[in-house]
Homo-oligomer: A and B are copies of this chain.
Amino acid sequence: MRWAEGLIAVDWGTTNRRAYRIEPGGRLADEMEDDRGVTSVDADGFPAAVAEIRARLGDRPLLMAGMIGSNRGWREAPYVPCPAGLPEVAANLLWVEPGRTAIVPGVCHIEGAHADVMRGEEVQILGAYAAGMIPADALCCHPGTHNKWARIADGRIAGFRTVMTGELFNLLREHSILADLMAGPVAPGPAFEAGVRHGLSHDDLPAELFSVRARFLLGKAPREEAAAYTSGLLIGCDVRIGLRDAPPGEIFVMGRPELTELVAAALAVAGRTTREIDGEEAFLAGIRHLAELTL
């Protein structure tokens, strides 16, 4: 059993990567993070990029998740269709070097006209279930560049929907006519919650975005509130979409703590209770369980 050697877990995204050395008992022993995301690595540069990680964290079995398995990554690991649990994901690891180096596939959801994909979040969501952080039947929200609302049924991802909230916020802050207004802080508070309330109760996002600028130009809202209001507006829209047909009960919000805090605040405005789960812990739990199943 190779897992007896311990393990390296890699969360390899578009613009950066994080890698962790896990001891045989499961303890996190070391980690690294850098900006060698998949788009910074040449198509034939991945063996060397993986060797860098092993040189730094040790020569152990290595499981990689995220965009490394996309058409922009090392090798394309085909999506596992829903319902997808850890056993289905484990059975579809793409082994670059058998028993040593594998890419975790993403998950897809095709149902009628709906088509959706995730890569990386499945490790966190299913890891959280395997570690007992979420129950076998749950609604999970995973905020990020592309927020995922995932229905968990019987410990598997039964279906999900992606909302482009983080990316839209970044596009607006970096490149839009709102950019010069959006240097202010984003945190839960009155401006953020006003945006959430608008997003929850109106379906006029592309118009309300312009109103942010108009209210500033007409002296009806201060510059410092624009970023928080806009973030709240986008997250409020996102929550409105995510809560459609949602079951009652606690909602599990998973990911980077600064993002789960915002979504939890928005869900509170919508009258829902939440539990926040640290995405890194959930990721490590997911990789450990995949190792148990495959090494």
Write the residues of chain A forming the contact surface with B, with a CB cutoff of 8 angstroms: 71, 79, 108, 110, 114-117, 145-146, 161-165, 167-168, 171-172, 174-177, 203-207, 209-211, 213-215, 217-218, 220, 234, 237-238, 240-241
Give the CA-CA distance A234 to B209 in the complex, in Å.
14
Task: Pull 5 A–B residue pairs with CB atoms less than 8 Å apart, ordered by A.
Answer: A108-B214, A146-B210, A162-B211, A163-B206, A205-B205
CB neighbours of A211 from chain B (8 A)? 114-116, 162
CB distance from A124 to the nearest CB of B (A): 18
The residue on B at minimum CB distance from A209 is B164
CB neighbours of A165 from chain B (8 A)? 206
A206 and B241 contact, Cβ closer than 8 Å, known pairs A110-B218, A218-B79, A218-B110: yes
CB neighbours of A168 from chain B (8 A)? 206, 209
A117 and B205 contact, Cβ closer than 8 Å, known pairs A171-B171, A171-B176, A176-B167: no
CB neighbours of A162 from chain B (8 A)? 207, 210-211, 214
CB neighbours of A241 from chain B (8 A)? 204, 206-207
Q: Which 10 A-B pairs have the closest CB atoms?
A: A203-B203, A162-B210, A115-B215, A163-B207, A171-B171, A115-B214, A164-B210, A117-B214, A164-B206, A116-B214
In the complex, which of the residues A161, A164, A220 has the most CB atoms of chain B within 10 Å of its own CB atom?
A164
